[in-house]
Structure 1
Amino acid sequence: MNAKSDTSSLSSPLDKVKIVLAIAILVGGVAGYYIYEAAPTVLRVAGVIFSLAVAIAVFMTSDVGRELWRFIQGSRIELRKVVWPNRQETVQTTLVIIFFVVIMGIFFWLLDMFLAWAARMLTGQGG
């Protein structure tokens, strides 16, 4: 393990407070949805969405949140490097998979029929 991963796994007490606060805000928003049953549904849903946004904002200020954001950014960069198949390759691959599934389905159906016949013969139920 390198020094970077050792220090990033240790979070400060303030980071732990931020994470707990983010969870509490989210739980509070969901609890508010059920507590204020008489309020219009649109306001209750807006409250949950607002609490989710605030919880995410608080979480992203912690070291764990910043690490998550760096991971997301790195994933987006890697995603841009992917060479996606064109339509012809996609259709050909799909047809090969469908053909293979049909062949395997027939194989397992025949195997099942044979094993059922063998079980009937072994138990004396077949004629």
Structure 2
Amino acid sequence: MANPSVETVNTSSDKLMLVAGVLLVLAGFVGFFWLGGQEWYVRGAALVVGVIAGVVVGLLSTPGKGFIAFAKDSYKEVRKVVWPTRKEATQTTLVVFGFVFVMAVFLWVSDKSIEWVIFSAILGWK
């Protein structure tokens, strides 16, 4: 059974836009290092312009538009989350720490018991 929710880049224009976006980002990095003798703000501007242009071109493609829609839907879902109060978070944290402490003591007692059985009772080592 095929998974219909998987998206692929099918059109050549989408592939071309994604390749152009990657090339623009790479051009920004190349420009940053190629302009090594220039002032820092000139080099930074080349990098920022290349990265921003590449991201914009990538987001204008069909997969980019799908990513924007996904990001908007994710933001809407995060806004629906009911976050715990400070008191609830503190109580939950204390319960977790308590459980970890009890498990640590249990594992320590188990380890020492097994150690005593093997080394003292079976092997006779003191």
The TM-score normalised by the length of structure 1 is: 0.77
Cα distance 1:11–1:100, how it changes in 2: closer, same or farther (>3 A)?
Answer: same
Using the TM superposition, name which of 107-116 and 93-102 deviates more.
107-116
- Cα deviation code 1:54-98 (max 9, x no counterpart): 111000110000000010111111112111111111111111112
Alpha-carbon distance between aligned partners in 1 of 2:31 and 2:81, rounded to the nearest angstrom: 43
How far apart, CA to CA, are the structure 1 residues paired with 2:32 and 2:5?
39
Would the alpha carbon gap of residues 16 and 110 (structure 1) be closer, same or farther in structure 2, given more than 3 Å must change?
Answer: same
Match of 2:79 in 1: 80
Q: Tell me how large the CA RMSD over aligned residues is.
A: 2.9
Which residue in the other structure is 1:61 paired with? 60
Distance 1:55 1:26 in 2: 5
Identify the residue that residue 22 of structure 1 maps to in structure 2: 21
Partner residue, 1:103: 102
Alpha-carbon offset, residue 17 of structure 1: 0.6
Alpha-carbon distance in structure 1 between the residues aligned to 2:105 and 2:11: 59
What secondary structure sits across from 1:9 in the alignment?
coil
Give unpaired runs (5+ residues) of structure 2. none
Give how far 1:5 is off: 4.6
TM-score by length of 2: 0.78
In 1, Cα distance between the equivalents of 2:117 and 2:25?
59
Query: How far, CA to CA, are the matches of 2:66 and 2:77 in structure 1?
Result: 16
**When you count helix as a share of all residues, which structure comes out higher?**
1
Cα 1:22–1:10, aligned 2, differ >3 Å: closer, same or farther?
A: closer
Q: Give % identity.
A: 28
**Count of residues in correspondence between the two structures:** 125
Contact 2:25 2:54 in 1 (8 A): yes
Structure 1 position 43 matched with structure 2 position 42: yes
Task: State whether residues 9 and 15 of structure 2, in contact with CA within 8 Å, keep that contact through their aligned partners in structure 1.
Answer: no
